Amino acid sequence: MKTQINFFLGAALISTASAAVVTDTVVQNRRLNWSHMPGATASQSSTGSGGAASRAIDNNYSGAWADGSVTHTAGTTAIGDFWQVDLGAVRSIDDITLFNRTDCCDGRLSGYSVLASNVSDFSTTVFDSGVQTDTAGTSINFAAGVSAQYVRVRRDATSNHGDNVISLAEVDVLGGPSEFTFTNLALGSTASQSSTLANGNIPSADKAIDGILANSFNHSSTTHTNPNAGGAVFWETTFSSLADINEIALYNRADCCPTRLSNFRVSIFDGATEVWGENYFEGTGNADLIFSIQEDTGAYIGTGDRVRIELIGGLNNDGNNVLSLREVEIYGVLVPEPSSTALLGLAGLALLFHRRK
């Protein structure tokens, strides 16, 4: 019986890392974004200042016009004009999120409605948000819960900016089941890095866990270590307790410098002990826009209280010591601390079996 008790305690307190760890450019714990899938095409009633409709489905969330990823209908647009996306087929749509322009003119995203339909002229609809009179802010989400092929943002009234222009940074149309549904533990964790560049965009470690996927450094949502600092170069985040981790997704910069996320090691730590770690892009290559490390059977990569990304030897493949991250998502479940009552119960069981020997 003593052996059985020891085995039970070991099974309860120790998690074994799985060998089925792969990498991918798709985050398996995110719902599908139909507007970013092959076959999705965007159009709009008119185009002004080169702000093509396709900019709102280019996977670049920057709301700054100078970054070349904000749409713009013509200044002569009128009530009833629109931006829309054809998803390529009828899709199950849970949520529609609009990302607004952020450098100016945010009031243009007001006086509009969001519609979903299975006919391209929207003569019939399966979802209608109603007219949105308030300015949307940085982003706004609509719970749709429908099946549709087309999504439209339609001008219904003169905007709070005083014109009829429609400008969008990005439109996400989310639906379909993600492969797994673990929680993003990075949100609410505590991030730090080896150093921080002195810059007006304040590229601190927490920018990688703010939930904002803007591609441009100038959007103030990207980390950046200080190239003048010596020693180890790393970014890491710590959870409130131990966590079973299924997936670690790194989002690389898209405005420049993709090789700053190269020649790095990703590790899971439990205290000072590395319980899992792998090197990536050693000496050549770099991470894509999304680089996901995932346990693809639904098990866990490992169990720990901290995840670290560190440049091997303190240098990336450009030969400098800068590490930049747009976002880090870490999916899994927190492991609850054993309660005092449970620990006392286990101690009592151990004592009972000890007396029966």
pLDDT at 210 over 70: yes
Q: CATH 2.60.120.260 occupies which residues in the chain?
A: 2-30+183-334, 32-175
Name which residue leads in pLDDT, 87 or 218. 87
Architecture of domain 32-175: Sandwich (2.60)
Q: End-to-end CA distance of the chain, in Å?
A: 8
The Cα–Cα gap between 104 and 108 comes to 9
What is the residue whose two structure tokens read 């949105």? 132
pLDDT band with cut points at 50, 70 and 90 for residue 111: very high
The Cα–Cα gap between 83 and 100 comes to 13
Overall average pLDDT of the 258-279 stretch:
98
pLDDT at 13 over 70: no
pLDDT for res 219: 80
Residue 188 burial (10 A CB sphere; 0-12, 13-18, 19+): exposed
Question: Closest by alpha carbon to 100, among 127, 70, 123, 80?
Answer: 70
pLDDT for res 218: 82
Overall average pLDDT of the 263-280 stretch:
98
Overall average pLDDT of the 62-86 stretch:
92
Convert the pLDDT of each residue in 316-350 to its tens digit: 999 999 999 999 999 999 998 764 444 444 445 44
State whether CATH 3.40.50.1820 applies to domain 2-30+183-334: no
pLDDT for res 205: 98
pLDDT at 63 over 80: yes
pLDDT band with cut points at 50, 70 and 90 for residue 351: very low
The Cα–Cα gap between 60 and 349 comes to 57
| Arithmetic mean of pLDDT over the chain | 88
| Two structure tokens written together for 59 | 């996977």
Instruction: Assign 293 to helix, strand or coil.
Output: strand
Beta bridge partners of 248: 293, 330
Name which residue leads in pLDDT, 354 or 189. 189
Convert the pLDDT of each residue in 214-265 to its tens digit: 777 888 899 999 999 989 999 999 999 999 999 999 999 878 999 999 999 9
pLDDT for res 338: 66
pLDDT at 8 over 90: no
The Cα–Cα gap between 73 and 210 comes to 30
pLDDT for res 6: 32
pLDDT band with cut points at 50, 70 and 90 for residue 31: confident
The Cα–Cα gap between 117 and 146 comes to 9
pLDDT for res 129: 96
Of all residues in the chain, what percent carry a pLDDT higher than 90?
Answer: 75
The Cα–Cα gap between 289 and 299 comes to 25
Name which residue leads in pLDDT, 182 or 353. 182
